[in-house]
Amino acid sequence: MPLLRRLAACLAACLVLAPAAQAWGPLGHSVVAALAQRQLSPAAEAEVERLLAPDHTRSLAEVANWADQIQDDPAQAALWQQTRPDHYINFHDPHCRYVPARDCRDGRCVVAALQHYVAVLGDRRQPDVARREALKFVVHFVGDIHQPLHAGYRDDKGGNTYQVQFEGKGSNLHRVWDSGMLETRGLDWQRYAQALQTSSPVALPAPIAPLDNPYAQWAEESCRFTAEPGFYPAGHTITPAYVQAELPLADQRLREAGRRLADVLNRTL
Ligand code: ADE
Ligand code: ZN
Ligand code: ZN
């Protein structure tokens, strides 16, 4: 086979073999973490630095994708299988009301995962190794819960089974929201975070009941965005007009996630 054809075939194989994304893609998670890092209190910043020291980093952005990366590490196979359902929640009605017994059976959903890992992170009697792991899960899951399709209500696995055409190729709506739409800006995570930070300060939606479970509120907000007219694209096609209309919402969710992640860490550490 000529070299160019061989390269093209190899590239096509790599694309097919790439694992399905489980989250905002790496770009989205790193942006959320970078936005949060700049809003940490000195005490929280110091504790983050101490907890992450064995990983030779102090950067939340550098550990923001660990919860997805463990799926490729045979040594972490059990942890990955155990935490797989912690990345999302599937609501069961278009009003997006959180009913734990129905929407979070056996506590396996992103709302319960955040409750659990924030508690571990804030418990100074826990060993550092457990609190370090909890920190990485919290950074990741606060991102996921703000990705509207990680908290959808339709029977389509958060848009994973909703096929779409995007940039002339087949994709699905979940992937477009995880990564495809964000990547149209052509920015790396540092520049993306910078761009979002220099636009106006983020005003958070007002807390609603149940006030003891803000994570349920964040998931319900995400769900309601997926129920808005136009969120599911007409004709299963992601047009430039769709990106123009929906990318500002994706950016808003990244900024809200960054601000809320900082609030959680400032309160917990
Ligand atoms: N698998 C099943 N439902 C999902 C969702 N809402 N998000 C990501 N992966 C899923
Ligand atoms: Zn995830
Ligand atoms: Zn995802």
CA pair distance 135, 265, nearest whole angstrom: 9
**Binding site membership of 90 for ligand 1 (Cβ less than 6 Å):** yes
- Kindly identify the ligand whose nearest atom is closest to the C-alpha of 88: 1
**Binding site membership of 85 for ligand 1 (Cβ less than 6 Å):** no
**Binding site membership of 158 for ligand 1 (Cβ less than 6 Å):** yes
Look up residue 109 and give its two tokens.
């959903």
Would you say residue 249 has pLDDT above 50? yes
Contact between 109 and 169 under an 8 Å Cβ cutoff? The reply is no
- Kindly identify the ligand whose nearest atom is closest to the C-alpha of 177: 3
Would you say residue 89 has pLDDT above 70? yes
Which residue ranges form the domains of the chain, and what is each CATH number? 21-268 (1.10.575.10)
**Binding site membership of 150 for ligand 1 (Cβ less than 6 Å):** yes
Q: How far is the CA of 125 from the centre of ligand 1 (A)?
A: 33
- Kindly identify the ligand whose nearest atom is closest to the C-alpha of 136: 2
CA pair distance 250, 141, nearest whole angstrom: 16
Q: How far is the CA of 26 from the centre of ligand 2 (A)?
A: 9
What are 145-185's pLDDT values in tens digits?
999 999 999 999 999 999 999 999 999 999 999 999 999 99
Torsional sign, CA 187, 191, 192, 198: negative
What are 2-59's pLDDT values in tens digits?
444 544 444 444 443 444 445 788 999 999 999 999 999 999 999 999 999 999 999 9
Contact between 120 and 43 under an 8 Å Cβ cutoff? The reply is no
